[in-house]
Structure 1
């Protein structure tokens, strides 16, 4: 009887161990399954290496309006970029390195069945691409192809406004690049404001038959610029009008080049350069990109606007 009881206890203990082992196995499977699901949900970019072949797959793949970049495969001398959407065939492509420096023209490429294949000695150095799509008036800028931080921007050309940039600039540009761009824009704004302040008002020539009128709008975002001349026959003013949202200055010898000054073969360039130290060519950029800008030549020493035959004084 005692031996039977001991046997039953031993068998019960074995069963308990087996059950505990099964439960532990089930828990491990559940843990692994949960980790797999979590990684899938997070969608992290993956980098896989097999010998000399490196593959990058990206978390965010949409570039612009149904154009998606899926993955990049690097092998010695070749990069294959897999994409979806985009009717590419003879589009221009440029290759860039890690600092987005142009890697040059020594490469060949083809678009075929959703794969851009680039063959070049520097293929494994390619970190960014620019793909021009003139039929759609856009160009795609792809960056960090060789990392998990893939980012893109799209430049769009608008016929009434010129080029504009769309996309996530904060992920595309580095912190240093963003700061440099902010500094550049601040300098442009400062130069524009100084130029507008310099020109604002009416400038009249000595015989009173032609003049410039410059008026800054209320929010100081732009300037109305009119070059006017008196039509004796019609007894009225005729004018050329520009609304400028930006302006920049060119100083010295380059100022004459900016206004199209014609140098002849006998010109004394040293003498001209000395006289032009006081000259500033002011370009008022037309807000209509299809129309001409207005350019005036300002003499900072005499405080006058001048052209070939006429001097304008500020009233």
Structure 2
């Protein structure tokens, strides 16, 4: 431990010296520090991938394994024998894709309306909308469950998709983006050409909102994909379980196969990584849009 602290201290001193005395050293030091932070944040993912290729006894061994093992096939057999990963994966995809699609549709329409149209009570209604964001989600979980039960939506994906498809954060996000990045001249030109309001939104405004769609879509996708509490309360049947619920069933008092569980966790994480990598360009542009004014 002392040796590690000494190495960190020496590295910091060297970086400070490089930044101060070498031309371009400040930029190098900045990128080096950011790279080290990124590597540290990737360590848990790397160890999860590594442990998915080892048996439970190898995972518990000391020193811990830091390279890939040869038990991937065995863990895969144990995982498929214990849980139905394909069914849970399909369930998670149905819920997440449906929810994210509806959120992007309704929240963009709501945000566009708040940003563009001047209707009576707009400011008060928007203030009420923002106030709902201050209420903890747990405060409404019991009324939400009672409502879903009375609707007959227990063991139904609709209970996890419909209630939140027009949420306050999504409307706020799209409203801010529309205000900063949608020029009124664009809408006026479309109206002069005879376009209806629906045509203006779907054919003129929606393409401009692509970065906001990507950033909001990724955030909603991750939240719903990783959601545990709501599916736990609604989905009682085993064939309806999502991936987070399935991972819970792999933990047992009689013993847990951590190799198989890490492999299942890897299967649950990969779609999130792929989705982020595919939309990372638009995600970053959506986060920074409007931050710099010309």
**TM-score clears 0.5:** no
**Bucket of the pairwise TM-score, normalised by the shorter protein:** under 0.3
Q: Which has the higher contact order (CA 8 A, sep 6+)?
A: 2
Q: Which has more strand, going by share of residues?
A: 1
Give TM-score, length-normalised by structure 1.
0.21
Give TM-score, length-normalised by structure 2.
0.22
Q: Which has more helix, going by share of residues?
A: 2
Structure of greater Rg: 1
